[in-house]
Amino acid sequence: MGIFKRVKDVFLAETNELIDKCEKPLNMVNQYMREFSVELEKGQRALARQLFIEKRQAAMIAHAETVVEKRDRQARLAVAQGEDQIAKLALQEKLMQEKKLAVYREQYATIQEQTKVLEERIAQLQVQSEEYNHRRLLLESRVNVASSLKELNRSVVSFQTDGIVRGFARAEERVLMIEAELEAINRFNTPAKRSAPQYLDPTLTSEIEASLAELKQQPAAE
């Protein structure tokens, strides 16, 4: 028994060490996932701000376009009415807004490119997040399997197999005894067997032989 106990102790020690090594990386992975989640949230907030800037720039462009069209109509109306000074002021405002509009559109194109880059980066982070979550689940599964095997092997190693074998043998003997008792009861309680014993009484041997000889000399019944 001494050698088996030493084998069990060594096995359990190695298994515990393996589990400890698995649990530490799992804790590390959980921390990495929390940090990654924080970075992903930062990216999403940055994208929200970027989309706000993009929408605001689009609103500025729309406003400038409206002003340009309005000043153009005012200049045309002033010329038609012979009010050149008013026409000049309207055209001046139109030219200023057109310059602003050109700048706004150029800025808007740059902002859209930045938004696209940010969206692509966040999409990559989301794909990575799904991959990391999957890998974490696999690692957690491996740890759970290893822990379960540890408990199972601990139970198997601690079993007293000799006692189990003897227990099965006793149970089988008990079943055989019950079956034998039942067979004995049925053998002597069956009516046919009670009326026709399966053995000859030695004290009646001569009488039985005489009756048999007499029976054989009688004509066969038709």
Q: What pLDDT does 110 receive?
A: 94
- At 37, the pLDDT band (50, 70, 90 cuts) reads confident
Domain ranges of the chain: 2-159, 160-197
Does domain 2-159 bear CATH number 1.10.287? yes
The DSSP output letter for 196 is S
**H runs (alpha helix) in the chain:** 2-80, 84-158, 161-189, 191-195, 205-217
122-142 confidence digits (pLDDT tens) = 888 888 888 888 887 887 777
Q: pLDDT-based confidence at 98, cuts 50/70/90?
A: very high
